[in-house]
Amino acid sequence: MEARALAASQWPLVGREQEIQAFEAAWADERCKGVRIFGPPGVGKSRLAEECLSRAAASGWKSLQATATAAAATVPLGAIAHIIPAGVDLSDPVRAFAEVAASLAGPQQRTRWALWVDDIHLLDTTSVLLLQQLLDAGVIRLICTVRAGEPISEAVAALCYRDVVRQIDVTVFDHESVEEVLQTALGGPIERQTLRELYSASEGNILYVRELVLSALASGNLTTDGEIWELTGDRPVGTSKLIEVIEARLAVAEMEARPVLELLALCGSISLSDAQALAPVEVLINLEQAGLVRVNAEWRRTTMHLAHPLYGEVLREQIPHLRRRAMLLEQAERVESYGPRRRDDALQVATRRLAATGTADPALLVKAANLARHATDVQQVLTLMSAMPSDARTAATLLLHGEALALLGRWQEAEDILAQADAMSDNEQDRLAVMSMRVRNFFWIARRTDAAFAVVDAARDRVTSPPGRRVVDLNDAWVRYLVEVPTPGMPLLSELEDDPADSLDAGTWDMAATTKTIALVRLGRCLKGAEWALRAYTGQSRDVNAGRSHSVPAASQLVPAIRAFADAGRFRENLNVGEGALTELTNARASPFPSMGIASYLGRSELLAGHPKAARSWYAEAASLTRAYRFHHLLPETLSGLACAAALLGDQEAAEDALAEAATYAPMTHLHGEDRLGRAWLLVARGQLAEARQSLTEGAEVAREAGNLPAEALLLTDLARLGAATEATPRLGELAEQSEGALTPARAAFAAALASNSPDQLLAAADELETMGADLLAAEAANAAGAALTQAGEDRLATAAAQRAAGLAARCEGARTPLLNVGKLTQPLTPRQYEIALLAASLRSNSDIAKQLHVTVKTVEVHLGAVFRKLGISRRQELPRALGQIESPPATRPRGRR
């Protein structure tokens, strides 16, 4: 969307349902003479008042509006002159006001006016007196906005601060409301980190949100790839309009306060004692009373912050370079003069010296980098270690540097640094830590499995102690488990304790713990996998609280737990865990790597639950992050899921684009067949059910050879849904006996019910699937039951089943599947008839269809004849609409960066 188009359009009014209800309740009360909409600047008071005026007009009131300004207030009646009829003699106010009232009331004295006055606190006294008379006479009802913190004259208070004028308080938006506004305004989902940046910059002030978005669109920093909007450059400062608003707000501060405001802009926060070194207490009190700063008291420490982050953005742009340098150095020296009192003092001093001069004491840099690592602030670690002088580098500092590069996706730079660290390591502990990081860098970041194994093999020749050899073996075990098929045993992983041990470096424990969850889930032990992941999360959190650093946050242990909960059929619990982990990772400013996994797994979970729109949004989020940080080997899994979701929604173009991009990258081998899902459901959308079944069959065989029970169960269930229930049911029954959780047994029961075409079994399957939240499978089961009941002549029961299916399908966000469509027909099509109908709907010739399905042309003609009779049509061109394929065509996707 172009910035000009968005600026010209009216931004959506969302998140104000309670305020609208309060207005309508007040307006319906005969005793009410108006409403005043009260709140701080920029929260959308005027937009809400505009909506209120529109609703009043819709209920029969004639509408007027006026805007009070400081300039108009210098002229009596200046803001409302346009509502005074021409020819009224204002020299006699009493008579003139009576004439205005009579004119507005009309010949029958029945005309009712709703008058909106924006910023009524700025209205001049004469205008207020006229409105008072019109209000008392019942000629008008008032809708007015009042800005919090502004002085109110006695006249205005007498007009709008009385019982008959109801107050509606308007506050800043919460995170969810900002997301809703942006999705509506931009016409698509917004990437989570982008949303976080815009929300933290605006703090929910909708005026600030709007101007930040317009600025980002105009600069090209806010773009879409057709699936999701994201910021690709620095966070925007805002439009010139927003800067003017903020500068006017800052202008109320005294000149003596300017150094305090500037230092807060550069440092984020300072102690109260530091602020007092720059300005008298009275000045600081005035800043707080003016709402420009906030003061927080925690234990024995009192700190000061700017009241809004955008104040800092504007102030920083106005500070000359040399003054900025001097202020940062003075603050660093001020903190140093106190001596080491707080844990983060070293980090503050180092970052401020770096920002001022580009250099800092090496010992200070190391201390600060370790503090940043403990907080999992990867970018901060990289900034600090990049400033380390070459002659001061050690194996430990090189490891810190290389680890940060790897976690940000820069694998080759990371390996160059880590190789130097390895060469400088002069003890076993350092060698093991470097080895562990190099293995992770090669395997997860660079996707070079052979190189990862080579690092492990080289370490075997250099490590002699039993604990050290265990570390080497564990690194070998987790890599081998993820890449070798058939999967080897996991004796070392099974012995792993849920609390990191002192003899095991944190990096090795982190990866081994995560792999153990993956291993348990792959074996069908989903509940035990989820339980282990939660224990590992608790153990790592405890380890961090005890002062031991890990390269990734404890929430990383929850990534495979999301898959575990989903494969166990515990969708609601799964979503809570995933959302919580993602929030924790985002707030920690951690490596984006685990966030990609969470977003992708949440997409998979929503796909399994039958919510393709939600799944598509999560997959788009994961793909956006993956591209941004160049973790391209993770894209095939994510893009296959995105293609699957898009195909279920009927958006073949998006599915094709996603699969075309996925084909340019080598997939991770641990997918074990699930990468076939996107192509399979695209084939379904095209009407090529036979090819879709073949793709799923191949994928299920890959999963079986790898011993990946949940993946095999998923692929076989989809195979059953596409007309091969008889073939899929026996193996699904075996998998149900080997798997924990309710999902695989429910899938097996569903497939068996499809195979037997038993209405009772299908309805029972629908019950079980609905209970766990598998809405799409439940809808399909109910729909299939309705079709079976229709065939049996049980019309009343069939109608009830169809109604239930419709209710379940309404939860599925527009998903389109053969089992949902076939039940809509009065005379249901057989699976073969439906397959041929889909192919014919794409205008394929009978001979082409016969070749594809390996049947005769005569067979195709017979089946099409039956299809036409059941659908009540006479031409194949009518098939798409009759089959429900184009009931609601997907909107054209915006073209953007890919």
Strand order in the sheet with 113-118: 62-67, 113-118, 140-147, 34-39, 165-169
Give dist(CA 112, CA 63) in Å, integer: 9
Q: What DSSP line would sit under 225-279, residue for residue?
A: -SS-EEE-SSPP---HHHHHHHHHHHTTS-GGGHHHHHHHHHHSEEEHHHHHTTS
Vertex 637: Cα angle to 821 and 699 (nearest 5): 65
Mean pLDDT along residues 217-231: 87
Q: What DSSP line would sit under 399-411, residue for residue?
A: HHHHHHHHHTT-H
What 3-state DSSP class applies to 452? helix
Mean pLDDT along residues 855-861: 89
pLDDT band at 735 (very low <50, low <70, confident <90, very high): very high
pLDDT at residue 751, rounded to an integer: 96
pLDDT digits over 510-544, tens only? 888 898 998 899 999 999 999 999 999 999 988 88
Bridge pairing between strands 293-298 and 34-39: unpaired
Residue 674 has pLDDT above 50, yes or no: yes
Amino acid at 111: T
End-to-end CA distance of the chain: 16
pLDDT digits over 770-794, tens only? 999 999 999 999 999 998 898 888 9
Main-chain dihedrals φ then ψ at residue 222, nearest 5 degrees:
-110, 110
Identify the DSSP state of 60: T
| CA proximity to 65, closest of 80, 51, 85 | 80
Bridge pairing between strands 269-271 and 293-298: unpaired
Supply 564's token pair: 């575990």
Question: How far is CA 298 from each of CA 336, 348, 363, 371, rounded to the nearest angstrom?
Answer: 21, 18, 29, 21
Query: Higher-confidence residue: 91 or 358?
Result: 358
- Is the CB of residue 123 less than 8 Å from the CB of residue 117? yes
Residue 163 has pLDDT above 70, yes or no: yes
Mean pLDDT along residues 662-673: 76
Which residues make Cβ contacts (< 8 Å) with residue 109, sequence separation at least 6?
102
Share of the chain above pLDDT 70, in %: 93
Mean pLDDT along residues 64-81: 84
pTM: 0.79
pLDDT at residue 822, rounded to an integer: 57
Mean per-residue pLDDT over the chain, rounded? 86
On the CB side of 707, how many CA atoms lie within 13 Å of its CA? 16
pLDDT band at 634 (very low <50, low <70, confident <90, very high): confident
pLDDT at residue 671, rounded to an integer: 64
Tokens 């898959």 -> residue:
563
Burial class (CB within 10 angstroms; exposed 0-12, middle 13-18, buried 19+) of 183: middle
Upstream peptide bond of 12 is cis (omega within 30 degrees of 0): no
Give dist(CA 594, CA 603) in Å, integer: 14
pLDDT at residue 8, rounded to an integer: 43
Residue 618 has pLDDT above 90, yes or no: yes
Supply 129's token pair: 């007196």
pLDDT band at 897 (very low <50, low <70, confident <90, very high): very low
